[in-house]
Amino acid sequence: MRRLAALLCALVLLVTGQAALAQKEAPQLVPDVSQRTVEIKFSFTGAELLLFGAILYPGGRVPEKPADIIVVLKGPSQAIKMREKQKVAGIWVNADSIDFRSAPSFYAVGSSRPIDKLVDERTAAIYELGLAKLQLSPSSLNDTTEIDRFSDGLKELQARKGLYLEEPGSVEITDGVLYRARLPLSARVVTGTYTAETFLVQNGRVLAAATREIEVRKTGFERLIGLFAREHDLVYGLAAVALALGMGLLAGVIAGRVGSAFG
């Protein structure tokens, strides 16, 4: 009983002490994003998102060793099948494959300094900081060397498409308190809810984290087309037929007139 009381006492002291410490010394994060919605229009060739905000240090004093910022922009997760081509009988055909249950459709990470200089392996893995730490949930049918090979392949493939990117040093911190990071959004992005996470890191520890959501959606004509192609496929098909026939006939008539006028 006495031992329990002592333990409780110690616990209370510890908790209140930490809370006090946190209130006194832990800086806070006030993040924002330049736009809450990204609209895909007919002229969409990609976008650039600005993630910015302020670091509030207790007492307003910037410490001698200021904190660092890591930003992560993640697209909706997708269940994908990935196939690997191998040379069979002189031609390249899809041979091996793997299923990933949740691969982000988009992943961009920016930081004020290289991530491996900011946090250790374990912390990076917990918060999925960096491409190497991305969780893809591979199916258990493949062995580990295969999983690694496919994971690396996926990351390289998506990087070439501009869908996975890592930009160390892309976060600028002004006077130790204002930060901003620009992350490019490729034209190949899928629609859905994206999350922009900001992490405040000091001495290898994540002190604060904040998340903002960004909606990427098709608007106007592009939305209509996508909607019709999926929901009213018969009408969509008829529209395609009518468009093709109409344009073909119109061109014939115009050419006939022009031809007879000149000929």
Site residues, another protein (CB under 8 A):
40-46, 78-85, 87, 90-94, 97, 99, 150, 153-154, 157-158, 160, 187-188, 190, 218, 221-222, 225-226, 229-230, 233-234, 236-241, 243-245, 247-253, 255
Q: CB nearer to another protein: give 150 or 199.
A: 150
Q: CB nearer to another protein: give 59 or 263.
A: 263
Q: CB nearer to another protein: give 124 or 163.
A: 163
In the complex, minimum distance from the CB of residue 138 to another protein, in angstroms, rounded to a whole number: 13
In the complex, minimum distance from the CB of residue 65 to another protein, in angstroms, rounded to a whole number: 42
In the complex, minimum distance from the CB of residue 147 to another protein, in angstroms, rounded to a whole number: 14
In the complex, minimum distance from the CB of residue 191 to another protein, in angstroms, rounded to a whole number: 9
* Residue 220 phi, psi dihedral angles, 5° rounding: 55, -130
49-60 CB burial, b ≥16 within 10 A, e <16: bebbbebebeee
In the complex, minimum distance from the CB of residue 81 to another protein, in angstroms, rounded to a whole number: 5
Q: What's the rounded Cα separation, in Å, for the pair 89 and 100?
A: 29
Q: CB nearer to another protein: give 125 or 159.
A: 159
Q: CB nearer to another protein: give 7 or 251.
A: 251
* Residue 61 phi, psi dihedral angles, 5° rounding: -95, 130
227-256 CB burial, b ≥16 within 10 A, e <16: eeeeeeeeebeeeeeeeeeeeeeeeeeeee
Q: CB nearer to another protein: give 24 or 81.
A: 81
In the complex, minimum distance from the CB of residue 86 to another protein, in angstroms, rounded to a whole number: 8
Strand order in the sheet with 192-202: 37-40, 205-218, 192-202, 68-74, 107-111, 164-168
By C-alpha distance, which of 172, 223, 190, 44 is closest to 107? 190
Q: Which residues contact 55 (CB under 8 A, 6 or more apart)?
A: 27, 28, 29, 30, 66, 67, 69, 173, 176, 177, 178, 179, 200
